[in-house]
């Protein structure tokens, strides 16, 4: 579904991505893990045609209308209400009349329809951004730290929703610095450090490879072992 081959990107003479190689199979969840500033959002911007590669090759096997993107507040109108924002996309994608209401319920915002987006808490804004990204049931979904700023219960609810989307056939590419979330959600993870993929594989297999399995699988211990740095 997604392929990056020897991808390179620089800004103002500074190389921020170095020979990135990523392959994501259809119907799986791929997690790109790393600290802030590692280059995670830049990779999503490249895959969604927001910016161009300097070198390397890219292939994304989905048409624009088959893609959902959650990238900060991308595509959200701050002065509209929660429901108005989603009804806009409901009409844009020619969806059934109650779709916006249903997706609000799915992300845990039933009853918040009339609140202006600009007045919502950070966590509630995250949920509206996610709802906008998935309202048209896209084939391929890009999520930039989808559970950032959410409370533990809402995180669990969102993770369950993402698993249901996968079961329905969606391919999900997400970034996160939450190693526990990645372990529970992802079929494959790539560890990104200073613009380079330093390891890639199934989370459990990666932990076993580096002996990070004392009581539970621990991706944070793998990252520390490989980089000498904590997340």
pLDDT tens track of the chain, all 231 residues? 999 999 999 999 999 999 999 999 999 999 999 888 889 999 999 999 999 999 999 999 999 999 999 987 778 898 999 999 999 999 999 999 999 999 999 888 988 999 999 999 888 888 899 999 999 999 999 999 888 877 888 888 888 989 999 999 999 999 988 888 888 899 999 999 999 999 999 999 999 999 887 666 788 889 989 999 887
User: Looking at the chain, how many residues does it have?
Assistant: 231
What is the arrangement of strands in the sheet containing 171-176, beginning at the earlier edge strand? 67-70, 140-144, 171-176, 29-33, 188-193, 196-201
Mapped onto helix, strand or coil, the DSSP state of residue 23 is strand
Start-to-end CA distance of the chain, whole Å, equals 29
Supply the DSSP string of 149-203, one letter for each residue: T--HHHHHHHHHHHHHHHHTT-EEEEEES-HHHHHHH-SEEEEEETTEEEEEE-H
Say which DSSP state 141 is in.
Answer: E
pLDDT, residue 215, reads 61
Is this prediction's pTM over 0.75? yes
Which residue, among 111, 83, 80, has the nearest Cα to 98 in the 3D structure? 83
Tell the residue number behind the tokens 């300097």, with chain if given.
54
pLDDT, residue 176, reads 87
């Amino acid at each position: 579904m997604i392929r990056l081959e020897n991808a390179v990107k620089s800004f103002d003479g500074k190389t921020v991505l170095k020979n990135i190689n990523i392959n994501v199979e259809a119907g799986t969840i791929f997690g790109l893990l790393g600290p802030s500033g590692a280059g995670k959002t830049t990779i999503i911007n490249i895959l969604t045609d927001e910016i161009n590669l300097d070198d390397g090759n890219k292939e994304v096997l989905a048409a624009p209308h088959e893609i959902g993107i959650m990238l900060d507040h991308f595509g959200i109108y701050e002065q509209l209400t929660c429901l108005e924002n989603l009804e806009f996309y409901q009409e844009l994608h020619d969806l059934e009349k109650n779709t916006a209401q249903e997706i609000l319920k799915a992300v845990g915002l039933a009853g918040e329809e009339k609140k202006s987006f600009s007045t919502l808490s950070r966590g509630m804004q995250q949920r509206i951004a996610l709802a906008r990204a998935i309202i048209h049931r896209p084939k391929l979904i890009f999520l930039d730290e989808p559970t950032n700023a959410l409370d533990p219960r809402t995180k669990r609810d969102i993770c369950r929703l993402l698993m249901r989307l996968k079961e329905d056939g969606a391919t999900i590419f997400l970034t996160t610095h939450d190693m526990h979330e990645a372990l529970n959600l992802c079929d494959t993870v790539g560890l990104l450090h200073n613009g380079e993929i330093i390891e890639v594989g199934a989370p459990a297999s990666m932990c076993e490879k580096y002996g990070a399995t004392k009581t539970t699988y621990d991706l944070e211990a793998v990252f520390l072992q490989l980089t000498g740095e904590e997340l």
